[in-house]
Amino acid sequence: MDKFQWKNFFEHKTEKCRVLVVGDVMIDKYYHGDVHKFASDAPVPVAKIFKRRSSLGAAANIANNLVLSGCKTYLAGFVGDDHNFETLSEQLTKSGINQDGLITTESPTTTKVRIISGHQQMFRMDFEDSSPKADKHFAKLESYVKKRLNDAFDAVIIADYEKGVCTEYFCAAVIKAAHSHGVPVVVMPYGQRWIKYAQADYLTPNIAKINKVLLSPISGADDEAVERAGRYIMRKFKVKNVLATRSAYGVTLVRDDDAIHIPTKFQEVFDSAGAADTVAAIFAMALAGGLKPEDAAFITNIAAGVVISKSGTYAVTREDILNELRIKD
């Protein structure tokens, strides 16, 4: 596929894609303030807050990348009955992400609150409970996934951040249900127990995550080492393909019979936060739109290049990618 066809895909076909994101949902809150004094009642700095903002995180950020690229997006996971869920729900509604699959539990909505002065993060508070939820909650979530798959979805993303959703049983149930409908499964992995993703169609780890499951770390600059690592992951964890994200060095798609190394254009890596979310989102959407895996990998590499050139967590848009394709003409 040439660049003209890629542009045609983003201009006319992404709105036809239907993707279900299942996994750990999060909301990020930021409080910006000036620090000029210490508290009178304790030896701690006082931040006078002048700005606050919230952004979608984890699986919700993957969903945000999808919807900003024009895709019909559905989100499923666990939340709490609390103020942080209200903030999350408002953000999802504003973004146009379907949230019918959010199951309320007794645990808090996973939230990270950051206090920032200037460009320095001073403090972070986490509201979360990463333990597996009750069987009744998993039963509701599994029922939702199976019901939605009857509605003709084009791809499923499992977004694992080890916050309690992606147990071995639940991942296996989602993968089996998706495959029964002929729907490919893309996994954003986390931790080291990747056997729970067995039979998934694609894993999308970055080099840092890959190194956590290898005996000896590799460099993202080494094509052969990345390919070997991809094949090791495919054998050990019984997954079908690996799309490895290599930051400034691009991406590598490893399959049974070949490996495709796609370099990114030379640029300064300003911040890689959120790049993994973008890779999972754009690659799954491209597959959902009927693109070949190699073409999906090329487009994903362009999207990841946009994200690493931005500051902080950034959700790529359809216009971002179209602008990059125009520049490459």
Residues with catalytic roles: 277
CA atoms within 13 A on the CB side of 258: 4
C-alpha–C-alpha distance, residues 311 and 270, integer Å: 6
Residue type, position 160, single letter: D
Contacts with 175 (C-beta within 8 Å, 6 or more apart), sequence order: 158, 185, 197, 198, 199, 200
Kind and range of the H or E element at 116? strand 111-117
3-state SS, 7-56, equals: HHHHHHCHHHCEEEEEECEEEEEEEEEEEEEECCCCCCEEEEEEEEEEEE
Within a 10 A sphere around the Cβ of 319, how many other Cβ atoms?
A: 12
Q: Which of 325, 162, 175 shows the shortest CA–CA distance to 237?
A: 175
